[in-house]
Chains A and B, each alone.
Chain A
Amino acid sequence: MCEILFAGGNSCGGVKMYCYGGKILSVDLSTGEGVKKTLDEKLASRYLGGDGFGAYFMNKIVDAKTDAFSPDNAIIIAPGLLTGTPVPTAGKTAFFSKSALNNGWNESVMGGRFGFALKQAGYDVLIIKGKAEKLSYLVIKDNEVAIKSAEHLRGETTRKTAEEIEKDEGDVVVASIGIAGEKLVRFACVDCDERQAGRGGIGAVMGSKNLKAIAVYGSNDIEVAKPDKMYELMAKYYEMMINHPSFEDDGKYGTGEFLEWMNKERGTFPTRNWREGVFEERKEIDPYYWAPRYAVKNKACIQCVKPCGKAFVMKKFEGMVDGVEYETLYSLGSNCGVASIEHVAKGNELCDLYGIDTISTGGVIGFIMDLYENGLISKEEVGVDAKFGNGDAMLELIEKIAHREGIGDVLAEGVKKAAEKIGGEASKYAVHVRGMEPPAYDVRGIKGMALAFMTSPRGACHLRSGAYALELVGKFWKFEGVDRFSSDNKGKEIAEMENFMAVYDTLGVCKFSRGIFLLNFDEILDAAIGKALKEEELLVIGERICNLKHIFNIKAGWKKEDARLPEKIHQPIPEGVSKGSYVSEEEEKKMLSDYFAARGWDKNGVPTRKKLEELGIEEFMS
C-alpha cells in the first residue's frame, strides 16, 4: 500500500512570515486524503506557535466529547515559534490530543529533531485524524506526503521502527511508537531521537489510529527577520548559558542533579508510592554516584548547548539508554523502593523501547506494590513477588504492562482505572489527579505544587506551572518569600506561572532555560519575526492559551469536583525535613477557590464572559 496524497509543487503561496514553515497540513488516515492550507497571519500573531496552535486547533477541530481512541480524535503536532532558529535550547515540538488517561485535554512536549524537520518541510501544524485500515506510517518529504504500510514493523520497538524506516526512506526524522502504543496502553508515549512526548498517552492515540510512525524530511530554509541581529543574540545567549552555574551541573549529572537536595534538604522526594518523602536507600540512584560510573557521554536535543541527557551504558544488564532523568529516578526508583541503578536504567530502557511513559509506569507499579504489601492483592494475581525494592519484579511488571499480559492488562489502564477494576480499598492507594500519575514532587510539602497538580489541564503535572522550583527555593521571576508549607496566596502564583510556562511551550524553548531568559524575549522575537513582544504581551498570549485548554476540558465534561488531590496527600509526611506537612481538604478547597478568582473564573471554575471577551476567545465557549 502506498497512497500518494500529494506529489510535488507548492500550491500554497501566501504572505511571507519569518520563522514559520507557512503551511498547515491535515491528513485523514481513514480516507487517505490530505489538505494543505496557508498559515493565517492573524492566527500566527494571536497564538504564535507550538502550545498556542495546539490550544486553538484542539478547540476548533476536535469534538471535546469524543473518545480519545475514536477516529474523530486528532493528533496535532506543532513546533515552537523559535524551533528551527539558532536561539539556544529552542528545539521543542508539542503534541496534542485528547488524553487516553482522562479523556480531557492532553499535551506533551518533546525534544529531538522532529519539529525542526517539520518546519523545514514547510509545516507549522500537522493535524492527523481518522484511522488507517492497516498499521501504517506517514511520510512527509517537503511537499510530498504519503501513507505507507507498517505491517512489517508490528510489535517492533520505537528504536528499531525508526531504524527500519530510515533504511527505506533515507534521511528522515522519525517519531514512532512501540508495542505499548499498538496495544493501547493508556500511558504509551511517542519517541524521537531517544526523547519522548511522554505523558497522557499520545502513543496510545497513535496506536488507536493504526499509526506506527511519522517520518519527516524537510529541506527548506528557515528564515528570520533580522539574521545579523539573530546571530549576535545567539552568541550572547550562548555565552550566558555556558557561564551559568547550571551548565556544569547539567553537563556532569543531568536533570537528577538536585535529587539529594530534594531528598534530604527538602524531604519531598516521593518514595514507595508516596508513603514517604525521603528515600533513605538513595545512594546508587543519585547521579553523583552513577554518572561517573555509567554515563559515557552527554546527549543534547537539537539547538541545545547545555546537554542534560546522558548516554547510560549498563554493565550488569545489556543495554543503553539516554537517561536516567530525575523523574525516572523517582518513578522506577524511589517510588518502587528500587535502590539499584542498573534496574532503574534497564527499566528506563524498556519503557523507551516499548514506548511507555516512565512516570506513569512507575506510578502504577508503585501502586500495585503498595496493594501487594498491604495484602489487598495476592502473589497469584500479580504474578511476581511485588515487594517494594524488588527490581526484578519491577522489570517483569514493565514487560507485562507493555504487552498487556496478566496484571499488566489492568495496570495498562492507568492507576485510576486500575484501582476501580481491582475494587475494594484499592482507590485509597491510587495516587493521581484526574487520572494522571504524578511526577517527583511530594506536594504535601510543596503546597503551591499541590494546587498546580489540581489545575494542570492534563492532570498531575509539574511542567504546566513549573512552580516546584519557585516553591522549593522561595523565589523566582517576580515572586519572593514564597513559603512552601503555606496554602495562602497560591492561586495567583500558580495562575501566573502557568501563563509563564505556556509562553515557553509556545516559543518551543526548553523550560530548563527559564531561569536564563525569564520572559525577556523581545530582542529575540524582534530578530526572529520582526516583532519585539514584551513580557506583558507574551503573558496575555499565555493566559489566552491556558484559558483555551481549560475551555476544552469544560466541553469534555470537566467538573471542579474532579480536580481533587489523592487520599495520600491528606496524610502527613512521616519523616525528614518536611515531616508532618500535608494538605488538608479545607486547604485544597481554599487554594482552588483562590485560583479560580485569580483566573477570573466563577466559583465553579467556569471562565466568565468578561474574561473570555478580554482575551478575545468568546467564540470558543457558547
Chain B
Amino acid sequence: MKHWNVVNRYKSGIRIEKKSVIEDIQHVCSHGNECNFECIDACKFDAMKKNNGIVYVDYENCVGCGACERACPLNAVWIHEKKAYKCDLCDGEPECVKYCSQEAIVVEV
C-alpha cells in the first residue's frame, strides 16, 4: 500500500507461504546476510542495485526478464506483470515490522 498506493499481494516486498497449520514460511530479502547478491550478478540490465547495504530494483531499467527471480537462493524476488518486486526495507522503516502485531518481524543489522 505504502509503495504503490494499491493493495496487491504480488507487489509486496514480503511473501507468506502457508505450509501447514503450524508452518508459515516468510520469503523476504536478506540484503546479503544470507546470500551473495546473486540477483545483482544475474541482472543484465543494471536494474538490481545496492545502496547503503539495501538491495533495490531500479524500475527505469527493469525489463522483467526474471533472471533475478531464478538466481535468488531465498525465493525473495518475484516477477509480476513484467517487473521485479522485492523488499527494499522501505527506506529504513519497514512497514511490515511496524504493522506486525505479533512482533514476528525484526530487522537484524
* A binding-site residues for B, Cβ under 8 Å: 84-86, 116, 120, 193-194, 219-224, 227-228, 230-231, 234-235, 238, 241-242, 247, 251, 296-299, 305-307, 311, 313, 320-322
Name the contact of A227 in the complex, choosing from B6, B8, B22, B102 (C-beta under 8 A): B6
A sample of 10 inter-chain contacts (CB < 8 A) reads A193-B18, A219-B80, A221-B4, A221-B6, A221-B7, A222-B8, A228-B5, A238-B99, A313-B22, A320-B22
Contacts of B7 in A (CB 8 A): 84-86, 221-224
Closest residue on chain B to residue A85 by CB atoms = B7
Pairwise interchain contact A194-B6, C-beta atoms closer than 8 A = no
Q: Is B21 an interface residue (CB 8 A)?
A: yes
Assess whether B22 is in contact with A298, with CB atoms less than 8 Å apart: no
**With a CB–CB cut-off of 8 A, which chain B residues contact A222?**
6-8
Known: A320-B20, A320-B22. A220 touches B8 (CB 8 A): yes
CB distance from B48 to the nearest CB of A (A): 22
Q: Which residue of B8, B21, B99, B102 is within 8 Å of A219 (Cβ)?
A: B8
- CA A307 – CA B102 in complex, angstroms? 9
Q: Does B1 contact A (CB under 8 A)?
A: yes
Q: Report the bound CA distance from A299 to B99 in whole Å.
A: 16
The answer for the CA separation of A230 and B11 in the assembled complex, in Å, is 18
A221 to B85, CA, bound (A): 14
A219 touching B10, Cβ below 8 Å = yes
In contact, B22 and A305 (Cβ under 8 angstroms) = no
- Bound: A474/B39 CA distance, A: 60
The distance in angstroms between the C-alpha atoms of A227 and B80, with both chains bound, is 21
B33 within 8 A of A: no
* A296 and B101 in contact, given A85-B7, A120-B9, A222-B7 (Cβ under 8 angstroms): no
Distance A242 CA – B102 CA, assembled complex (angstroms): 10
Interface-central residue, A221, A238, A242, A251, by most chain B CB under 10 Å: A221
B34 sits at the interface (CB 8 A): no
Chain A residue numbers with a CB within 8 Å of B9 are: 116, 120
Cα distance A32–B21 in the bound complex, in angstroms: 35
Closest CB in chain A relative to B105 CB, distance in Å:
13
- Assembled-state Cα–Cα distance A299/B102 (Å): 10
Contact B5 A227 (CB under 8 A): yes
**A residues in contact with B4, CB < 8 Å:** 221
- With CB as the reference atom, state the residue of chain A lying closest to B81: A219
Please give, as numbers and ranges, the residues of chain B lying within 8 Å of A296 by CB-CB distance: 22
* B1 and A86 form a contact (CB under 8 A): yes
Query: Could you say which residues of chain B place their CB within 8 Å of the CB of A230?
Result: 1
Enumerate chain A residues within 8 angstroms of B2, measured Cβ to Cβ.
231
3 shortest A-B CB distances, which residue pairs?
A221-B6, A227-B5, A305-B101
**C-alpha gap A98/B100 in the complex (Å):** 39
The CA-CA distance from A306 to B100 in the complex, in Å, is 10
State how many angstroms separate the Cβ of B5 from the closest Cβ of chain A.
4
Residues in B neighbouring A251, C-beta threshold 8 A: 102
Complex alpha-carbon distance, A422 and B22, angstroms: 42
Report whether A223 and B6 are in contact in the complex, using a CB–CB cutoff of 8 Å.
yes
Neighbouring B residues of A306 by C-beta, 8 Å = 101
Contacts of A247 in B (CB 8 A): 101
8 additional contacts, CB 8 Å, given A231-B1, A241-B101, A307-B102? A84-B7, A120-B8, A223-B5, A223-B6, A230-B1, A247-B101, A306-B101, A311-B21
Smallest CB gap from B6: residue in A: A221
A38 to B16: give the CA distance in the assembly, Å.
32
- Asked if A297 meets B1 with Cβ closer than 8 Å, knowing A220-B8, A223-B6, the reply is no
A298 CA to B22 CA in the complex, in Å?
9
Q: Give the distance in Å from the alpha carbon of A222 to the alpha carbon of B81 in the complex.
A: 15
Report A354 CB to chain B, min CB distance, Å: 16
B-chain residues with CB within 8 Å of residue A299 when the two chains form the complex: 21
User: Closest residue of chain A to B102, judged by CB?
Assistant: A298
A221 to B80, CA, bound (A): 11
What B residues does A321 contact at CB under 8 A? Answer: 21
Which residue of chain A has the shortest Cβ distance to B7 in the bound complex? A222
Which of B5, B8, B21 neighbours the largest number of chain A CB atoms within 10 Å of its CB?
Answer: B21
Q: How far is the CA of A560 from the CA of B98 in the complex (A)?
A: 53
User: Contacts of B8 on A, CB cut-off 8 Å?
Assistant: 120, 219-222
B6 proximity list for chain A (CB < 8 A) = 221-224, 227
Contact indicator B1/A194 (Cβ below 8 Å): no
CA distance A313 to B22 in the complex (A): 8
Q: Write out the residue numbers on chain B whose beta carbons fall within 8 Å of the beta carbon of A84.
A: 7
A320 & B21 in contact (Cβ 8 Å cutoff): yes
Cα distance A508–B4 in the bound complex, in angstroms? 23
Cross-interface CB contact of B99 among A85, A193, A305, A311, cutoff 8 Å = A305
Which residues from chain A contact B99 at a C-beta distance below 8 Å? 234-235, 238, 305
- Rounded to whole angstroms, the CA-CA distance of A312 and B20 in the bound complex is 12
Rounded to whole Å, the gap between the CB of A350 and the closest CB of chain B is: 14
Determine how close the nearest CB of chain B comes to the CB of A585; give it in whole angstroms: 46
Known A84-B7, A120-B8, A231-B1: A322·B101 in contact at CB below 8 Å: no
By beta carbon, the residue of chain B nearest A220 is: B8
| A306 to B101 CA separation, bound complex (whole angstroms) | 7
Residues in chain B near residue A307, CB distance under 8 A: 101-102
Determine if B21 and A322 form an interchain contact, defined as CB atoms under 8 angstroms apart: yes
* Assembly CA distance A423 to B21 (angstroms): 42
For residue A454, give the distance in angstroms from its CB to the closest CB of chain B: 37
Task: Please measure, in the bound complex, the distance between the C-alpha atom of A241 and the C-alpha atom of B1, giving whole angstroms.
Answer: 19
Which B-chain residue is minimally distant from A352 (CB atoms)? Answer: B21
Is the CB–CB distance between B21 and A227 below 8 Å? no
Beta-carbon contact of A227 and B1 below 8 Å? yes
In chain B between 9 and 25, which residues have their CB closer than 8 angstroms to a CB of chain A?
9-11, 18, 20-22
**CA distance in complex: A306, B18 (Å):** 18
Residue of A nearest to B10 (CB): A219
**For the complex, what is the distance from the CA of A116 to the CA of B7, rounded to whole Å?**
10
Q: Which residues of B contact A297 (CB under 8 A)?
A: 22
CA distance A180 to B61 in the complex (A): 53
A227 to B18, CA, bound (A): 28
In the bound complex, residues from chain B placing their C-beta under 8 Å from that of A234 are: 1, 99
Q: Which residues of A contact B5 (CB under 8 A)?
A: 223, 227-228
Chain A residues positioned under 8 Å from B102 (CB to CB): 251, 298, 307
Q: In chain A, what residue has the closest Cβ to B78?
A: A171
Chain A: minimal CB distance from B13 (Å)? 15
The interface bits of chain B over 85-96 (1 if a CB of A lies within 8 angstroms of the residue's CB, else 0) are 000000000000
Q: Residue of A at shortest CB range from B19?
A: A163
CA distance A321 to B21 in the complex (A): 6
A238 touches which of B10, B18, B81, B101 (Cβ 8 Å): B101
Complex Cα distance A322/B21, Å?
6
Q: How far is the CB of B43 from chain A (nearest CB, A)?
A: 23
For A228, the chain B residues whose CB sits under 8 A away are: 5
Min C-beta distance of A227 to chain B, whole Å: 4
Measured CA separation A227–B8 after assembly (Å): 13
